Each structure stands twice: as structure tokens, then as C-alpha cells.
Structure 1
Amino acid sequence: MTSPIRKIHFGIADRHQTFRLFDRHAQRPDRWQTDGAKLYAGEWFEIAQAEHDTMLEILPPLWMRGEMFAMREFLTGSITSVFYTLRINGVTRFFHAYCDLSDPRSAYELRDAIVERERRPVKAMTRAERIEHIWSATHDDYRGYASADFRPEHRGKRIVIVYGKPGTLFELLESLSDAQISEKLPVHLRHLPLPEAA
């Protein structure tokens, strides 16, 4: 099964955010027992030119093709970082994505998805993008994975701290209400509309 292509952070990630986003699933409880390929494949976010150029200089790339290059070191299995320099709406921008190189089309499909997503004239965030941004932006102390305190079918799913009455508690990330999502988003992202249905 192919992992969905998804934007995991809004805005241009700074150096600290970039390196944190490279391994945003580091806390998963089965990290050393299972292959995390499905978690990472298809994730992408925007980076600054400085971070793009740094990654190009670290090691010789595995390959370079036009506006993209792939890292020589693989994250897991056939998943590696691909970095893009893309001109979108007249502006040169830089992106990182995790591509599954067992599929020769992966890097191109990611590129096309990024361009399609970022060409939209009006800024908007889908519910899924809001959820992913919350997970990416939440400090490790305030997020985790459902344990034995949750029903068996929810164990291992992502959870985040929610503040309310009678106090703070962990809630399933996927089950957050619209109000909870709004509260957890940074102020500048809270009022972005949901995309209109096609």
C-alpha cells in the first residue's frame, strides 16, 4: 500500500524545525522493532535555501536530476530524503520530501504534488494538514502514542495533550474537535479557511 503524499508543516521550517521534522516519528514505541517506511514516505515540507544548500554539501548526492537531488543515506529501507528547488508562481522555493525510491516515479510524483498544492492562490489548510502541523509543532513532552490507558483499537495511535475541564489529558490526535484543533494551531494559522470542495 502506498503512503499518501502529505504536507506536514506550514511555513518555511527554520534549521531547528527542519532537523526535528526529519524524524518526527522518533518517539514511536515500536521504533526498533518495525520498519517506519509507511510513516515517512510521502511527507514533505518547505525549507530555507540555507538548509537546502547545507544538505547538498554534506555528502555527494545519490543522484541529481534537474531541480532535485536525493540523499545518499537512506532513512529506512528504500526511503530517503529528496530535496527540491522549485519555481512556483514566479518564486524560487525549497522543499524536502521523503520518497520511496523502490518506485522510480516517487520523486516526480512528490514534486508534482508539491507544485499543485503550493500553486493554490488562496491559503487554506485541510483538516488533515492541520492535524499534521499540530503533530509536527508539538513538543515531545506534550505528544506521544496511546498506551494501555486507551482502548485496544487505539493503542499505538498518536496522542496530544489537551487542556480543558477538569484538567489536562491526552486525546487521540485524529479525534480532536475543530475547537481543539484551532486552540492547538499557532495564532497565524487558526483562521485559514478549509479548502472549498471541488
Structure 2
Amino acid sequence: MTLSPIRKIYQGIADRRQMFRLFDRHAQRPNRWEDDSALFCGEWFEIDQAGHDYMFEILPPLWMRGEMFAMREFLTGSVTSVFFTLRIDGQFRYFHGYCDLADQGSPTRMRDAIIERESRPVRAMTREERLEHIWSSTHDEYRGYAGERWPEPDRGKRTVIFYGGRQGTTLKLLDTLTDDEVLAKLPVHLRYLPDAIAA
């Protein structure tokens, strides 16, 4: 499964519990012990200051550059956590992103993408951001990956359990949820945000 280069995966500010859950939101992937850098690289989400400071104090950073620092421990291959302190609209905000340090420009592109996304004057979400939020906020027991019972082209794709009223509960491919199903899976405060045009 290959995802887009830089993508917001959670709407809102993740507290410490949510932050640790989001660090490895692909834990159930079938090829867990293979190098799957593309799966993580480019994912980012907002955290609170306490979470940012906690991560800064765990280990000495691999490096620090102005408003960002990289974790010394790598997640997979050359991908590691980079934490950002960014001033957006006059306020300091804190973010986590997975960057591939084999690409020297990766942290800077991540920072620029976060600033561009979070500086928009109107709160809005793309369909992809809605699907990523659903995946990130769904409990592990209600999400997974299509296995051998699925047709060959669908194997390995992300699945979620969907409650369809009288039709009961069904397992669906995340990418095939209809707009109404996406709205039903989102928290109420995110359901009616306008659609954003993907950058």
C-alpha cells in the first residue's frame, strides 16, 4: 500500500495517549516486519506542548534545527519522527511528522506543508483527510487489512467495520466508503466541514 507523499492523518490536537497510538497506526499491517517506509513517510498530526516537550526529553535528539528536532531512534529504514514548533497565525503550535532522513529536504518540505495546510483561512477537509482521520481514530478491533478472503486486487488494503442500520455490521474497504458512510464515521464536529481541494 503506497500513500500520498505528505498527508495530515488526524484532525485536532492529539494528547499523549493519542500521540502514542498514532505513532504506529499501521501496527496490524500484514507485512509488519518488512521495511515499509513509504507507508509512514509523510504522515503528520498536531500534538500538544506537553507531548512535544515529553518527546524532546526522552533521548538526546539526533539533530536540532531552529523549530524542529529529529528523534535518534528510527521507525523503519531511514524514517524517523521529526517534531516541529511552528508559529502559525501568531500562536505556537506543535506537530509530529515522519520524515525520510535519506532525503535531506524531507523535514523542510514537511514543515512547509504543515504551515500551508494549517494557515488556510477556512477549516476544511479533503476526502483523503477524512479517510485518514477515520483510520486514525478507529479502534484496532474495528479496522484491519483485507486478507485472503478478499479478491486478489483488494488484499492488503485497509478495512473498517461499518454499522449500516438494518443491514447490520459489514467490513468495508476504507477507500470505498460512500460520502454518507464517511460522514457517519466522523465525529459530529467534523462531519459538516466543507470539502477542501487537495493541494
| TM surpasses 0.5 | yes
Aligned partners of 1:158 and 1:172 also within 8 Å: yes
Give the corresponding residue for 1:65. Answer: 65
Q: What letter is aligned with 1:70?
A: A
The answer (yes or no) to whether the contact 1:29–1:145 under 8 Å persists in 2 is yes
Q: Deviation at 1:169?
A: 1.0
- Partner AA of 1:4 in structure 2: P
* Aligned equivalents of 1:2, 1:14: Cα separation in 2: 25
Matched, 1:55 2:55: yes
Aligned to 2:126: 126
Deviation larger for 188-197 or 153-162: 188-197
Counterpart for residue 194 of structure 2 = 193
TM-score by length of 2: 0.96
Matched, 1:11 2:12: yes
Structure 2 residue identity aligned to 1:188: H
Conservation of the 8 A alpha-carbon contact between 2:126 and 2:197 = no
CA distance in 2, matches of 1:158, 1:147: 10
Report the counterpart of residue 42 of structure 1 in structure 2.
Answer: 42
Runs (4 or more) in structure 1 with deviation over 4 Å come to: none
Shift of 1:30: 1.2
In structure 1, list runs of 5 or more residues that go unmatched: none
- How much is the aligned-residue C-alpha RMSD, in angstroms? 1.5
Normalization by structure 1: what TM-score?
0.96
- Matched to 2:138, the amino acid is T
For 2:198 and 2:63, the matched residues in 1 are separated by: 38
Contact 1:3-1:41 within 8 A present in 2 as well: no
- One-letter amino acid of the counterpart of residue 28, structure 1: R
Write the mapping of 1:57-136 to structure 2, written as runs, cut at 5 A.
57-136=57-136
Over the matched positions of the two proteins, sequence identity in percent amounts to 67
Q: Give the Cα–Cα distance (whole angstroms) in 2 for the partners of residues 173 and 197 of structure 1.
A: 18
Aligned partner of residue 169 in structure 1, secondary structure: strand
Matched residue SS, 1:8: strand
**Quick check: 1:79–1:99 contact (8 Å CA) kept in 2?**
yes
Cα deviation 1:51-73 (Å, max 9, x = unaligned): 00000000000000000000000
Q: How many residues of Structure 1 are paired with residues of Structure 2 in the alignment? A: 197
Equivalent-residue separation in structure 2 for 1:70 and 1:175 (angstroms): 35
Asked if the contact 2:78–2:100 (Cα under 8 Å) also holds between the matched residues in 1, the reply is yes
